[in-house]
Amino acid sequence: MMKVLFAGCLLFLLLNVAHVECRVAPVESRRHDDDSSPDRLYKLFIFGDSIADDGNVPNPGLNRGSRAWYYPYGMSDDDHDNSPTGRFSNNMVQSDFLAKILGHDESPPPYAAHKARRGKKSNRINSSGMNFANASSGAVYLVPTLGAQIDQFSSLVSDGVITERDLDESVALVAYSGRDYGRISNSASDDYIARFADDVTEEIAGIVKQLQELGVPKVLVNSVPPLGCTPWMSRFTNYDHCDKRGNMISDAHNTALLDKLGKEKNVMLLDVNTMFTELVSPKPGSTLSKQFKYMYQPCCESIDASGYCGQYDGNRPLFRLCRNPDEYFYWDYIHPTHAGWKAVMQLLQGPIMAFLGISNLNHF
Ligand SMILES: *[C@@H]1O[C@H](CO)[C@@H](O)[C@H](O)[C@H]1NC(C)=O
Ligand SMILES: *[C@@H]1O[C@H](CO)[C@@H](O)[C@H](O)[C@H]1NC(C)=O
């Protein structure tokens, strides 16, 4: 019964008309599922950029790129002493919530941690998997590319660090959020944007194929969030609405992605774009509207438009921090808060469980 419901839900998502029906059914109606056999515990391999990274970016000292290693990043993260962990959020990021849906506590550890202790301790990977996502990454133009992350993964497979058994029980997430599109100039034509999106999605489709050839049975691929709704762009509207052109670029990407991967078996397109849009810029009458008091304005805002959250001039902070991050969808100019990601991933939990055949609802 639940399976059927979820499958219908998945269809809704693919048709891009997701509504609250896709929320996971309340626990009450799931009680009878309790006696079913326990879910298998998937290992998780994560690829992508800053929306999924949990510590792969080096920390050479505070700068824009390494800011996730500094206050106020991680300030709400009770499980890690409210300290920064290299995640671009006040607490958890998308990869953590996916891990929770799978029954783990948080994202698997970063590849960087494995690399750092290579040769010293046991060479086994963590039983929850490994996270290769690197906040500096793009698909084509920014290094290390997603392809380089696959190379890191692939060499662990050839070295036998990741075993066939690990792979058999695994699922991969490709969490690409569109950084390459920052290269597109304001005067670029629609045709140019379409060709650009074609190149980027071609690369992503290739990545998915490589993962499958390496033996990963199920792959989740994010759509790109509405770039025009990020505070980085909506600040030009005084945080009043999303930038149309930015969203058009996301749409070009997502259309091309659907075209290339929409019919692939064992690949699920995770429509984070629709969920962001529903939460940040809901259509009139949507039941999701006003879940967040502040939909466009970030909790952590740099005083200088060219600055960044966490920047200091000596002891003087060059950013303003909100009182309650839970009231905000966005944490900094680009990234959602913990509460933002939680809301997005709750909307996707049912379809993900259906795709992976998970029957236990893990609350988060
Ligand atoms: C595996 O990873 C989890 C999450 O990062 C961590 O809490 C746990 O301590 C790790 N286990 C081992 C054996 O290192
Ligand atoms: C992540 O990308 C940065 C910037 O290119 C690179 O220096 C770093 O080594 C990468 N991290 C890992 C774990 O490969």
Q: Closest residue (by CA) to atom 4 of ligand 2?
A: 136
> Measured at the alpha carbon of residue 280, what is the angle toward residues 326 and 310, in degrees to the nearest 5?
50
Three-state DSSP at 110 gives strand
What is the distance between the alpha carbons of residues 219 and 302, in angstroms, rounded to a whole number? 36
Query: pLDDT tens across 198-242, in order?
Result: 999 999 999 999 999 999 999 999 999 999 999 999 999 999 999
What is the distance between the alpha carbons of residues 137 and 177, in angstroms, rounded to a whole number? 10
What's residue 290's pLDDT? 79
Q: Which ligand is nearest to the CA of 96?
A: 1
**How much distance in Å is there from the Cα of 54 to the middle of ligand 2?**
12
What's residue 111's pLDDT? 97
Three-state DSSP at 238 gives coil
**How much distance in Å is there from the Cα of 125 to the middle of ligand 1?**
10
Does 166 fall in a domain? Answer: yes
What's residue 289's pLDDT? 66
What's residue 275's pLDDT? 96
Q: Which ligand is nearest to the CA of 132?
A: 2
Q: Please state whether the predicted TM-score (pTM) of the whole model is above 0.85.
A: yes
Q: Which atom of ligand 1 is nearest to the CA of 106?
A: 4
Q: Which residues line ligand 2 (CB under 6 A)?
A: 56-58, 111-112, 115, 134, 136, 143-144
What is the distance between the alpha carbons of residues 86 and 361, in angstroms, rounded to a whole number? 28
Does 363 fall in a domain? Answer: no
Q: Closest residue (by CA) to atom 1 of ligand 1?
A: 126
**How much distance in Å is there from the Cα of 92 to the middle of ligand 1?**
16
CATH number at residue 151: 3.40.50.1110
Does 124 fall in a domain? Answer: yes
Does 142 fall in a domain? Answer: yes
Residues forming a β-bridge with 302 = 319
**How much distance in Å is there from the Cα of 109 to the middle of ligand 1?**
7
Query: Under the phi-then-psi rule, with left for phi > 0, alpha for psi from -120 to 50, and beta for the rest, what region is 103?
Result: left
Does 113 fall in a domain? Answer: yes
Q: b/e for 6-44, b at 16 or more Cβ within 10 A?
A: beebbebbbeeebbeebebbeeeeeeeeeeeeeeeebbb
Question: Structural domain tally of the chain?
Answer: 1
Does 2 fall in a domain? Answer: no
Q: How far is CA 239 from the centre of its chain?
A: 23
Ligand 1 site, residue 109, Cβ cutoff 6 A: yes
Q: Which ligand is nearest to the CA of 127?
A: 1
CA atoms within 13 A on the CB side of 96: 25
Q: Which ligand is nearest to the CA of 99?
A: 1
What's residue 14's pLDDT? 40
Ligand 1 site, residue 106, Cβ cutoff 6 A: yes
DSSP for 37-93? PPPP--EEEEEESTTT-SS-S--SSSSTTTGGGSTTTTTT-GGGTT---S-SSSS--
Does 3 fall in a domain? Answer: no
Q: Which domain holds residue 164?
A: 8-355
What is the distance between the alpha carbons of residues 292 and 269, in angstroms, rounded to a whole number? 25
Ligand 1 site, residue 126, Cβ cutoff 6 A: yes
Q: Which atom of ligand 1 is nearest to the CA of 54?
A: 5
Does 360 fall in a domain? Answer: no
Q: Which atom of ligand 2 is nearest to the CA of 115?
A: 13
**How much distance in Å is there from the Cα of 56 to the middle of ligand 2?**
6
User: For the chain, which ranges sit under pLDDT 50?
Assistant: 1-35
Instruction: Name, in order, each residue with C-beta under 8 angstroms of 184's C-beta and a sequence gap of 6 or more.
Output: 192, 193, 196, 249
What's residue 183's pLDDT? 95
Residue 128 DSSP code: T
Q: Closest residue (by CA) to atom 12 of ligand 1?
A: 126
